[in-house]
Amino acid sequence: MSMAADKTGEVVLAARDIAKSYGSIHALKGVNFDIHHGQVTTLFGENGAGKSTLMKILSGVVKPTSGEIILDGAPVMFASSSQARDHGISIIHQELSLAPNMNVRDNIFMGREIRGPAGVDFAEEERQTRLLMEELEEDIDPLTPVEELRLGQQQIVEIARALSVNSRILIMDEPTSALSASEVEVLFKVIGDLKARGVSIVYISHHLEEALQITDHAVVLRDGAMTAYADRAAIDLEWIVRHMVGENFDLGSPPSGYAKGPVALSIENLTVRDRQADYNVVDNLSLDVREGEIVCIYGLMGAGRTELLESVAGRLKPASGRVRLKGRDITGRSIAGCIGEGLVLVPEDRQRDGLVQTMTVGRNLSLASIGSFTRGLFTSSTRETALVDGAIRNVHIKTDGGGSAIGALSGGNQQKVVIGKMLATDPEVILLDEPSRGIDIGAKAEVFKLLAERARKGLAVVYTTSEVGECLSIAHRILVMRRGRIAAEFGPDANKEEIMAASGEAVVAHP
């Protein structure tokens, strides 16, 4: 029997009575948390429950207000993340912390370069990077600039960087939020290998069913306090949801009881070329969306969902085709031009494309609506404050107010800021690319409810998702994209198997 097997299940790191306050906000209230040798402990909770704060304390990113951390039976206090890493603790953050202008190799070894007699041994770093990419079954050249990778590939690089440290405790904060189904499968294989080597893993995910596949222990946080703990054998989906939000509820249903209006958005034979490869990422696609209609676009990574929305919203230039907004041709308009016409996009990558990190919550919320409270060189602070307060209230953002730093918000609340910013422009059409990325089940329900309410008032809504369950929520129509085209169309009475089969996913036949 191996040494790893002998110790499996033992507590290697423990948090005892950990509390953390940010002014009047109590992010953690006396939390106790154990990490077991060679096992996966999954941490569940809504956005703002304190999950990321606890993990940042355990990995040395922030210091607790009170309480202690016990490692191998002895109290420790980490002054920095590098000190925690020296003790074998690494974290994969929910929000990517890569340098986009640097290549993959340099990102992985940034701050801990491999030295040789003549300086940095770039050849050895490149060799190790290639091995990591092989382990993660991802065909990424180590010398590729990170900014040229799609979001899912950037997430793989972030995971590879953490794996390169050979940590004994690895914290994964939403590691699969941007990954395709096949990439998640590979990651789970890697997690199995790490467990076999005695690595302890803390796993945070809003994909509840997915997390149940790999967890050994489950802990639920709610409003900064631990509300439940159990071993895998004692938990199921209903147990998690009940302890997270206090009740078992779904993500809503398609809004009804009103007549849909005329066509609000018309996409005619739209074609978008891939920036690097020589093929059509959106291939001669046509689609009409009516006032008050909610359309969901489902598809695997690379199906062309993001490129379709970005082309319609003015971010990508189409090779051919037309986009009309209530009959007006807006093809080729800039992003600002589209917003001015009444068409807005909530982007997939909120950190890079949706938020200005140096601005407050309020300034982020009001940025796209600046024209509504500006006259010449002067702005009306009264109008801006009213707009910000209304957006915070309407989208249910957990914050101290508009003056708070955007970085102080949880990932899900940052996503709500991006959605609230676009809704504050009072658009006629809203496009949302993976709007639930990094949002817990309670926040998803709030966002979908908000979209359903706006649809009743005539807003045309188009959203993409890679989660089948989100198709079967508020959408009147479900479109499945595959290789740049609409491969199938379903109504709200469709089932998961039909949708997945149309997208090209492998579906296991049930006996």
pLDDT for 485 equals 93
Q: Which of 88-97, 113-122, 150-159, 244-253 has the highest mean pLDDT?
A: 113-122
Q: Does 14 have pLDDT greater than 80?
A: yes
- Of 219, 246, 273, which marks where a domain is finished? 246
Question: Is residue 25, in this structure, part of any structural domain at all?
Answer: yes
What's the half-sphere exposure (Cβ side, CA atoms, 13 Å) at 254? 22
* Shared-domain flag, residues 145 and 257: no
pLDDT level of residue 39 (50, 70, 90 thresholds): very high
Number of domains in the chain: 4
pLDDT level of residue 379 (50, 70, 90 thresholds): low
Q: In this predicted model, what pLDDT tens digit does every residue of 284-336 receive, in sequence order? A: 999 999 999 999 999 877 789 999 999 999 999 999 999 999 999 999 899 98
> Which residue would you say has higher pLDDT here, 242 or 451?
451
> Which residue would you say has higher pLDDT here, 40 or 278?
40
Averaged pLDDT of the chain: 85
CATH number, domain containing residue 231:
3.40.50.300
**Structural element, H or E, at residue 482:** strand 477-482
Q: Does 407 have pLDDT greater than 80?
A: no
pLDDT level of residue 474 (50, 70, 90 thresholds): very high
For 146, the domain range is 98-165
> Which residue would you say has higher pLDDT here, 42 or 357?
42
- Of 246, 270, 305, which marks where a domain is finished? 246
pLDDT for 144 equals 93
Of 130-139, 150-159, 253-262, 283-292, least confident by mean pLDDT is 150-159
Question: Is residue 347, in this structure, part of any structural domain at all?
Answer: no
pLDDT for 438 equals 66
Taking the C-alpha atoms of residue 213 and residue 243, their distance in angstroms, rounded to an integer, is: 19
Tell the residue number behind the tokens 């003015």, with chain if given.
314
Question: Is residue 107, in this structure, part of any structural domain at all?
Answer: yes
Taking the C-alpha atoms of residue 104 and residue 137, their distance in angstroms, rounded to an integer, is: 15
pLDDT for 215 equals 94
- Of 108, 142, 165, which marks where a domain is finished? 165
Average pLDDT, stretch 208-229?
A: 89
Average pLDDT, stretch 116-130?
A: 92
| C-alpha distances out from residue 148 to 27, 93, 173, 314, 335, Å | 36, 20, 23, 20, 21
* Shared-domain flag, residues 240 and 281: no
Question: Is residue 93, in this structure, part of any structural domain at all?
Answer: no
pLDDT for 200 equals 94
Q: What percent of the chain has pLDDT over 90?
A: 39
Average pLDDT, stretch 191-212?
A: 87
| C-alpha distances out from residue 236 to 210, 294, 438, Å | 12, 31, 21
Question: Is residue 490, in this structure, part of any structural domain at all?
Answer: yes
Question: Is residue 22, in this structure, part of any structural domain at all?
Answer: yes
Q: b vs e for 4-43, b when ≥16 Cβ sit within 10 Å of the residue's Cβ?
A: eeeebeeebbbbeebbbeeeeebbbbebebbbbbbbbbbb
Burial class (CB in 10 A: 0-12, 13-18, 19+), 134: exposed
Question: Is residue 271, in this structure, part of any structural domain at all?
Answer: yes
* Shared-domain flag, residues 295 and 269: yes
**Which positions ≥6 away from 467 have C-beta within 8 Å?**
207, 436
pLDDT for 219 equals 93
Q: CA 283 from chain center: how many Å?
A: 27
* Shared-domain flag, residues 506 and 431: yes
Q: Does 247 have pLDDT greater than 90?
A: no
> Which residue would you say has higher pLDDT here, 40 or 98?
40
3-state secondary structure of 47: coil
pLDDT level of residue 368 (50, 70, 90 thresholds): low
pLDDT level of residue 377 (50, 70, 90 thresholds): low
**Which positions ≥6 away from 119 have C-beta within 8 Å?**
none
Question: Is residue 350, in this structure, part of any structural domain at all?
Answer: no
Q: Does 378 have pLDDT greater than 60?
A: no
